[in-house]
């Protein structure tokens, strides 16, 4: 007597047959496309290795750039001595040699490690080095570049005030005041705020505007009567006739 299959048994049989058919098709595809599968696996492996190498390389570049920044800072803080054995004791024979070495180190960061976090520090480092060396036109070039590229950087107040001071040294007091007024408005929480106000008052005096200079000196005194900045402002205020 022929045995009748139940509905559930029929469904299971169909599923088994479908699974066998799918496995058969997959096997045939893999056999026919072995080369493509191997190539795909190699591509995936290369991408994975490439990403890891890229991340490792980027981390290594960050470390190298930081090391070069430290070297530049070291050069620029070394004393200058005309003694024959000055280099033996970590000193430079001339001021020019000192600044050249420091600036060259910062330039290495700019040229070789542009994608690192050290880049803004290198631009500002060169700007400050030129300023301290009395090369104010050259310093302006790098202050400008910093402010164009890194407006949101936390060192922007230092770059903006640095540019203003360079303008002052070049006798461009109106340009200096533009930067100083911007700095006073945007960076009231900066540690440079009082110094910026003193410099702005100085610019007002250079431009024959003692009234605005007096106002700034009075503000500094009112903000901190016992501070160093207040004592300087008091002296300056007494000098105004």
Residue at token pair 């610019």 = 203
Topology of domain 64-151, CATH = 1.25.40
pLDDT tens digits, one per residue of 146-155: 999 999 999 9
> Which of 113 and 163 is assigned the larger pLDDT?
163
Confidence of residue 32 (pLDDT cuts 50, 70, 90): low
Quick check: 229 and 220 in contact, CB under 8 A? Answer: yes
**In the predicted model, is pLDDT for residue 26 greater than 70?**
no
N- to C-terminal Cα distance for the chain? 129
Q: Which region among 32-36, 61-65, 91-95, 233-237 has the lowest average model confidence (pLDDT)?
A: 32-36
Q: Domain-by-domain residue ranges, the chain? A: 64-151, 154-241
Question: Matching CATH topology for 64-151 and 154-241?
Answer: yes
pLDDT tens digits, one per residue of 76-120: 888 877 666 656 556 777 888 889 999 999 999 999 988 899 999
Give the residue among 144, 137, 152 at the shortest CA–CA distance from 123.
Answer: 144
The DSSP string of 95-148 is HHHHHHHHHHHHHHHHHH-TTSTTHHHHHHHHHHHHHHTT-HHHHHHHHHHHHH
Q: Which region among 29-33, 120-124, 136-140, 164-168 has the lowest average model confidence (pLDDT)?
A: 29-33
**In the predicted model, is pLDDT for residue 15 greater than 50?**
no
Quick check: 71 and 65 in contact, CB under 8 A? Answer: no
Determine whether domain 154-241 maps to CATH 3.40.50.720: no
């Amino acid at each position: 007597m022929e045995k009748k299959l139940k509905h559930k048994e029929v469904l299971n049989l169909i599923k088994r047959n479908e699974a066998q058919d799918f496995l058969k098709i997959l096997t045939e595809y893999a056999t026919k496309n072995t080369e493509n599968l191997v190539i795909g696996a190699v591509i995936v492996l290369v991408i994975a290795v490439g990403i890891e190498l890229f991340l490792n390389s980027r981390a290594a570049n960050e470390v190298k750039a930081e090391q070069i920044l430290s070297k530049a800072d070291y050069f620029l803080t070394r004393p200058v001595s005309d003694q024959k054995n000055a280099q033996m004791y970590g000193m430079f024979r001339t001021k020019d040699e000192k600044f050249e070495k420091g600036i060259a180190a910062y330039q290495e960061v700019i040229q070789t490690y542009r994608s690192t976090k050290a880049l803004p520090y290198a631009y500002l480092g060169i700007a400050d080095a030129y300023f301290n060396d009395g090369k104010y036109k050259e310093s302006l070039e790098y202050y400008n570049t910093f402010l164009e590229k890194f407006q949101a950087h936390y060192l922007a107040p230092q770059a903006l005030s640095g540019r203003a001071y360079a303008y002052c040294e070049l006798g461009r007091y109106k340009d200096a005041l533009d930067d100083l007024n911007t700095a006073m408005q945007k960076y009231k929480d900066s540690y440079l705020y009082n110094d910026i106000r003193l410099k702005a008052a100085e610019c007002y005096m250079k431009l024959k505007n003692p009234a605005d200079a007096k106002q700034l000196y009075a503000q500094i005194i009112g903000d901190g009567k016992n501070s160093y900045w207040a004592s300087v402002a008091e002296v300056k205020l007494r000098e105004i006739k």
